[in-house]
Structure 1
Amino acid sequence: MLRQSFVLLGLLVLAGCAQVPDEKIDERDPLQSFNRPMYDFNMDVLDAYVLRPVAVGYVAVTPTPVRRSVVNFTDNISAPTDVINATLQGKAGNAGISVARFLVNSTVGIFGLFDVATSLGLNIVDEDFGQTLGVWGIGDGAYLMLPGMGPSTARNLTGDVVDNFVLPEIALTTPQTVLVFALKAVEARASLIPQESLLNESLDPYIFMKDIYFQRQLYELHDGNPPIEEEPEDFDEDFLESL
């Protein structure tokens, strides 16, 4: 969904530049000759000179309660997308939770600025059309490192395009859409600042990010209960949750 794209904008820009080691061909990443240079551009230019400085300044001047309200608001306007995708996936319970969250937080929570629903036991359920396609049996497709957008796959990129047509986000004016985009991007990047060392200390940040991305997709596709696999040595659950 649109939210996923914005969250991934923060993911793309965390590590320092690394030398590309000799490696076996990754069948998930047939476009690596394009993806690696794009990753370097995202890190060395977009993050170094734009996103990270803005995120650091944002954290420095914005009180934690205000940041929390920003996250709550952007999550709330994406709730209808969660409802539709949960329904398409046959998850009636998750769809009902998202409907209830949207109604409660849009009213009692003052247009979503306060997450009252979670305090009532209605925890957020993040569903997007990329996950829906996965539930329908469609594979990931090629791994993609997008300029200014971060990691994705052919399936999830298609899902993002579809999710962008879901109300109420389509009802926003162009300036409002730009504002929501900026808020999501900056907050996503700010939330990843404490985890930067994980990428900086990895032997190959590009591969590390790619592996974490695919783990996150598997985690979401199985609603937090993916098939048990051996975790990489540097795996950090808090980092995974923040993507």
Structure 2
Amino acid sequence: MLKHGLIYIFLLVLAGCAQVPDSQKDERDPLQNINRPIYDFNMDVLDTYILRPAAVGYITVTPVPVRQSLVHFTNNISAPVDMINAGLQGKPGNASVSLARFLVNSTVGVFGLFDVASSLGLEHVDEDFGQTLGVWGAGDGAYLMLPAMGPSTARNLTGDVVDNFVLPEIALTTPQTILVFALKAVEARASLIAQEGLLNDSLDPYLFIKDIYFQRQLYELYDGNPPIKEEPDDFDEDFLESL
């Protein structure tokens, strides 16, 4: 099955190697002729036959309180990574909050199943090494559509590698790591079911997802306060002064 899937990806990539029309070129996405076939494979094969059915089944059989507890649990596992990256970004306040959240939720919150810390005013702040690289001045790099994982960038892919290997979340065995990854993936897909209409109604779903991804990355990089770009002046100032 895996072999056939890899062959299918390879054929899709070959099919997508045609030149991208000038009207669709995006300097953020120099690999678009490869990314689009991978996106099609993700949506038409992996999502249609595996991820979405799993997410629907998960929603059907899992009560909302249990889902919330699982989200709290996976967030708590990530708290040490949030703390380390906040420190690397020069945010001692966020680092202290992440440490306090981990201590409170790991004890009073029963291994993170209950988010007691938020009720104490210690709100979750997501920090990763991709954001750390951005704070240090690294650009996004090329936009990437990864098989089974979805949108990313060269910078964020590097950050994910560091977070998952160099800065391990906590001492987990391989099966536990896979379980946590699966829980995050299924919950993330389940949370998007209500928004599927927006994607289906878009003129180009690939571009829609890419734009949303970059907006979210900018939002997270600036902790919810991205810089506001000034609109260019449509008029010539010298001409206006001559009136």
Normalising to structure 1: TM-score of the pair?
Answer: 0.84
Q: What is the match of residue 207 of structure 2?
A: 207
Q: What is the match of residue 177 of structure 2?
A: 177
Q: What is the match of residue 131 of structure 2?
A: 131
Instruction: Provide the rounded CA distance (Å) in 2 between the counterparts of 1:56 and 1:22.
Output: 39
Q: What is the match of residue 217 of structure 1?
A: 217
Partner deviation per Cα, 1:101-146 (whole Å, 9 max, x = no partner): 0000000000000000001000001000000000000000000000
Secondary structure in 1 matching 2:203:
coil
Partner deviation per Cα, 1:12-71 (whole Å, 9 max, x = no partner): xxxxxxxx9873310000000000000000000000000000100110110000000010
Matched, 1:43 2:68: no
Counting only pairs closer than 5 Å after superposition, residues 8-157 of structure 1 correspond to structure 2 as 23-157=23-157
Name the amino acid aligned to 2:168: L
Instruction: Provide the rounded CA distance (Å) in 2 between the counterparts of 1:168 and 1:203.
Output: 39
Indicate the RMSD between aligned Cα atoms, in angstroms: 1.4
Matched, 1:159 2:159: yes
Instruction: Provide the rounded CA distance (Å) in 1 between the counterparts of 2:195 and 2:28.
Output: 25
Whichever structure has more helix as a proportion of its residues is: 2
Name the amino acid aligned to 1:28: R
Q: How big is the shift at 1:157? A: 0.3
In structure 2, the CA distance between the partners of 1:100 and 1:146, relative to structure 1 (3 Å rule), is same
Name the amino acid aligned to 2:56: V
Structure 1: which 4+ aligned runs deviate by more than 2 Å?
20-24, 165-169
In structure 2, the CA distance between the partners of 1:67 and 1:147, relative to structure 1 (3 Å rule), is same
Say which structure, 1 or 2, has more relative contact order (CA 8 Å, 6+ apart): 1
Q: How big is the shift at 1:177? A: 1.0
Structure possessing the higher radius of gyration over alpha carbons: 2
Instruction: Provide the rounded CA distance (Å) in 2 between the counterparts of 1:69 and 1:22.
Output: 48
Matched, 1:228 2:235: no
Tell me how many residue pairs correspond in the alignment: 210
Q: Percent identity?
A: 80
In structure 2, the CA distance between the partners of 1:151 and 1:83, relative to structure 1 (3 Å rule), is same
5+ long unaligned stretches in structure 2 = 1-19, 231-243
Instruction: Provide the rounded CA distance (Å) in 2 between the counterparts of 1:69 and 1:21.
Output: 47
Instruction: Provide the rounded CA distance (Å) in 2 between the counterparts of 1:21 and 1:55.
Output: 36
Secondary structure in 2 matching 1:141:
coil
Partner deviation per Cα, 1:203-237 (whole Å, 9 max, x = no partner): 0000000000000000000000012259xxxxxxx
Q: How big is the shift at 1:78? A: 0.4
Q: How big is the shift at 1:158? A: 0.2
Normalising to structure 2: TM-score of the pair?
Answer: 0.84
